[in-house]
């Protein structure tokens, strides 16, 4: 049935006025195009499309866009992109992502990041990491950490520090080591403790064992030397020697005051 309302009629207009040439199509309702083979469109200047509701495209094979200049996409509400297989993004220079509130990345399996030069992360508040299994770091050169507050390390099992050269712990104030069971220090060569005062307190027993000798020295002139077969007490040039043969005094007198 024909629509006799002039306001509802479709329209095709061809205008050939100088500098106002125009081809105009008006469809009062639906507009359909069906092309059996290829479709080619060339626009020498600008193109503007305005869609009042939804815009849907269905492409069976592929979609390619070549933009010589720039591309600007403004989305007022949500932006959803689904890729069933792989996605590759190549950026020739810089890439900037600005997120107003939160940014969440969900990865089903592995995540790998390769950086050709430096990486810098600035966090204005907290950083929290939750790792269910192992955490491995490999650093080719040095590692420096600066903590303005305190540092707490908790582990349910053991902690091991291994250095092929020196290991140094320095503090400006108090250094404290506590263990519910035992503390052990072992060195293949030398082990030394240096302080203005050294106090040792054993609630039960205190044992000092040396395979060759033990030397206790006060100042320059007073020493107590213990070997496997004798004990030598020396004050200045005077010596008191105690061995399995008895007690001898050299360089002085044995007296009772």
In a domain, 228, yes or no: yes
For the stretch 103-137, pLDDT in tens is 999 999 999 999 999 999 999 999 999 999 999 99
Paired with 243 in beta bridges are: 230, 246
Residue 1 in this model has a pLDDT that exceeds 60: no
In a domain, 180, yes or no: no
Residue 190 in this model has a pLDDT that exceeds 80: yes
Band of residue 73 on the pLDDT scale cut at 50, 70, 90: confident
The more confidently predicted of residues 203 and 1 is 203
In a domain, 154, yes or no: no
Domain that holds residue 235: 214-250
Residue 2 in this model has a pLDDT that exceeds 90: no
In a domain, 19, yes or no: no
If you average pLDDT over every residue of the chain, what do you get? 90
Nearest to 234 by CA among 249, 251, 222: 222
> What pLDDT was estimated at residue 239?
92
| Chain-centroid distance, C-alpha 46 | 48
Residue 240 in this model has a pLDDT that exceeds 90: yes
For the stretch 144-155, pLDDT in tens is 999 999 999 999
The number of folded domains in the chain is: 1
Give me the DSSP letters along the chain.
-----GGG--EEEEE--TT--EEEEE-SS------SS------SS------SS------SS------SS------SS------SS------SS------SS------SS------SS------SS------SS------SS------SS------SS------SS------SS------SS------SS------S------SS------SS-EEEEETTTEEEEE-SSEEEEEETTEEEEEETTEEEEESS-----
> What pLDDT was estimated at residue 77?
87
Backbone φ and ψ of 30, nearest 5° = -95, 155
Residue 96 in this model has a pLDDT that exceeds 70: yes
In a domain, 204, yes or no: no
- Give pTM, 2 decimals: 0.66
> What pLDDT was estimated at residue 6?
57
Note whether 51 and 57 are within 8 A (CB). no
> What pLDDT was estimated at residue 117?
93
- Residues 6 or more apart whose Cβ sits within 8 Å of residue 10: 26, 27, 28
In a domain, 221, yes or no: yes
For the stretch 79-91, pLDDT in tens is 888 888 888 888 8
In a domain, 188, yes or no: no
In a domain, 123, yes or no: no
> What pLDDT was estimated at residue 124?
93
């Amino acid at each position: 049935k024909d629509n006799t309302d002039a306001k509802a009629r479709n329209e095709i207009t061809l205008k050939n006025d100088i500098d106002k040439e125009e081809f105009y199509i008006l469809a009062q309702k639906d507009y359909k195009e069906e092309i059996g083979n290829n479709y080619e469109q060339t626009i020498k200047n600008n193109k503007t499309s305005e869609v009042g509701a939804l815009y849907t495209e269905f492409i069976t094979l592929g979609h390619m866009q070549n933009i010589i200049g720039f591309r600007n996409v403004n989305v007022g509400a949500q932006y959803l992109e689904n890729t069933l297989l792989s996605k590759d993004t190549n950026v020739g220079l810089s890439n900037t992502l600005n997120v107003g509130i939160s940014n969440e990345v969900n990865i089903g399996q592995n995540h790998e990041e390769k950086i050709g030069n430096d990486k810098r992360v600035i966090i204005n508040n907290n950083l929290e990491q939750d790792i269910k299994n192992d955490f491995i770091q490999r650093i080719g050169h040095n590692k420096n950490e600066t903590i303005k507050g305190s540092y707490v390390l908790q582990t349910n099992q053991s902690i091991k520090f291994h250095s092929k050269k020196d290991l140094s712990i320095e503090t400006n104030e108090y250094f404290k080591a506590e263990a519910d069971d035992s503390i052990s220090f072992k060195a293949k060569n030398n082990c030394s403790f240096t302080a203005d005062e050294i106090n040792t307190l054993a609630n039960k027993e205190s044992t000092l064992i040396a395979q060759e000798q033990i030397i206790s020295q006060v100042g320059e002139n007073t020493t107590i030397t213990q070997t496997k077969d004798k004990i030598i007490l020396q004050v200045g040039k005077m010596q008191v020697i105690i061995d399995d043969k008895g007690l001898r005094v050299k360089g002085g007198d044995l007296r009772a005051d």
